Structure 1
Amino acid sequence: MPELEVTTFTAAICGLIYLVLSYRVSQVRLSERISLGDGGHADLMARTRAHANFGEYVPIILILIALIEFETGYSVALGIVSAIFILARIAHAIGMGRPSPNKLRVSGIVGTWAALAGLSVWALVLAVRTI
């Protein structure tokens, strides 16, 4: 059975980033005493969306990385796409706390979409090739 090194590393880093994003939301919730929603607090809204957006993209990316790595084994190319995705998610999270539009948020979006598109096409090629 493959060891799925890229998948494991990517999941571990994403888990740590998610923990940081969760903590950042909790900081504002506690300091502003906001239990549910955002209470009209702009910083909490931005942090909540950065956290949620991260949680929306990470599962499908991890699934694609795992399926590709399971099919092809470890590859430097897969590691590079993973690194692009991780850096893009960090840039997006930082950019969410800044006035829009900003370079960090835009580069985070573009990097995330590029990783998603590349991995999706790669997985599709692998799937079609085995039919």
Structure 2
Amino acid sequence: MTSLEAAALWVGLNALLLIFLSARVGMNRMKHKVNLGDGDNPEMVKAIRTQGNYIEYAPAAIGGLVLLALLGVSATAIHILGGVFFFARVAHLLGLGLGLWPAGRAVGTVLTVLTLLVTGLWLIYLAAS
């Protein structure tokens, strides 16, 4: 598998995760009859923020993976960064969105930031080389 194929795998998995997070918001809107906003409903707030938080971080992580692949970083490194980011976002969902893993939100947040930090520094290094 090439680096770009590895990035494509993680971009595809993240696209599916976004569809899932978006569907959760839609299902909660129907369940709670909330057309716009959160209706002061805690379930709506969690679903909206889980999706929103993902949308706030995913573009930088996904774009970073693709750029690293295009700059020749190994497929193994792309898989590690992509896998950690994807795990981080699922952990965040399990913690904040679903309440199934209380530590998931914190684990997801820390791993998301670490993934972005490594990706960002690596891109800066490659740009300066």
Check whether TM > 0.5.
yes
- Corresponding residue number in structure 1 for 2:110: 110
Please give the per-residue CA displacement for 1:50-96, whole angstroms capped at 9, x wherever unaligned. Answer: 00111111111111111111011542122111100000000001211
Aligned partners of 2:3 and 2:75 also within 8 Å? no
Gaps in structure 1 of 5+ consecutive residues: none
> d(CA) in 2 for partners of 1:63 and 1:91?
21
Aligned pairs for 1:1-131 (under 5 A) are 4-97=4-97, 98=99, 102-129=102-129
Aligned partners of 2:4 and 2:69 also within 8 Å? yes
> d(CA) in 2 for partners of 1:3 and 1:115?
17
Please give the per-residue CA displacement for 1:93-122, whole angstroms capped at 9, x wherever unaligned. Answer: 1211339xx310000001100100000011
Please give the per-residue CA displacement for 1:3-43, whole angstroms capped at 9, x wherever unaligned. Answer: 71122111100011111111111111001110000000001
> d(CA) in 2 for partners of 1:112 and 1:5?
22
**Farther-moved stretch of structure 1 (13-22 vs 2-11):** 2-11
Question: Aligned letter for 1:4?
Answer: L
Question: Aligned letter for 1:65?
Answer: L
> d(CA) in 1 for partners of 2:3 and 2:92?
30
Aligned partners of 1:4 and 1:74 also within 8 Å? no
Q: Which runs of 4+ in 1 moved over 2 A?
A: none
Aligned partners of 2:3 and 2:72 also within 8 Å? no
> d(CA) in 2 for partners of 1:75 and 1:96?
31
Question: Aligned letter for 1:42?
Answer: P
Aligned to 1:4, the other structure's residue is in SS state helix
Between the two proteins, the alignment pairs up a number of residues equal to: 127
